[in-house]
Amino acid sequence: MNNTNIPSILFVCLGNICRSPLAEAALRKVAEDRGLAMRIDSAGTGDWHVGNPPDRRAIAMAARNGIAIDSYRARQLVTDDFNRFHHIFALDHANLDDIRAIAPARSTAQVSLLLDMVPGREGQSVADPYFGDEAGFEVTWRDVMEAAQALAARFAK
């Protein structure tokens, strides 16, 4: 199902209400600005927030950058995703382990750590801002925007 020429990218964090929706929003914005066709989505490894909108602090962060994400709804990563997306990017190392643990043997997706795409930031995690304050979301936004720019540059080639 992922055998089109349009790159398809899935961002995965734990809850799908903070980091991965912001990564999705950042890449949608960068792709739109650069006129790049991409299929972009996000999911969580956990199911606690399924059906919920993003965290209000994530909604506010995106809104401050001109992006509306209040219509996003959290969903859980499913085995189908491993054949529906070319790339699955984990926001942190625990997410990466959890993604790999449920990857079906016939997965065609390339699974990797998101910041591995950013030169000089290989091996780093996007920190979980959920239990912190608003400032954490600024850091998240910077991280996912940096990754989105790197992804857009890579897929524009």
Residues in the site for ligand 4NP, rule: CB under 6 A?
A: 13-19, 44, 48, 128, 130
Nearer to ligand 4NP, 14 or 38 (CB): 14
> Which residues, in sequence order, are bridge partners of residue 90?
12, 113
19 is catalytic: yes
How far is 57 from 60, CA to CA, in rounded Å?
5
13 is catalytic: yes
- Contact (CB, 8 A) for 76 and 17: no
Nearer to ligand 4NP, 36 or 136 (CB): 136
- For the CB of residue 152, give the shortest distance to ligand 4NP in the complex, in Å: 22
Among candidates 148, 156, 153, which has minimal Cα distance to 40?
148
Choose, from 41, 55, 81, 128, the residue flagged as catalytic.
128
Nearer to ligand 4NP, 49 or 87 (CB): 49
- For the CB of residue 140, give the shortest distance to ligand 4NP in the complex, in Å: 8
128 is catalytic: yes
How far is 74 from 17, CA to CA, in rounded Å?
6
- For the CB of residue 69, give the shortest distance to ligand 4NP in the complex, in Å: 12
Angle at 59 (CA atoms; ends 57, 65), nearest 5 degrees: 105
How far is 64 from 113, CA to CA, in rounded Å?
26
Active site residue ranges: 13, 19, 128
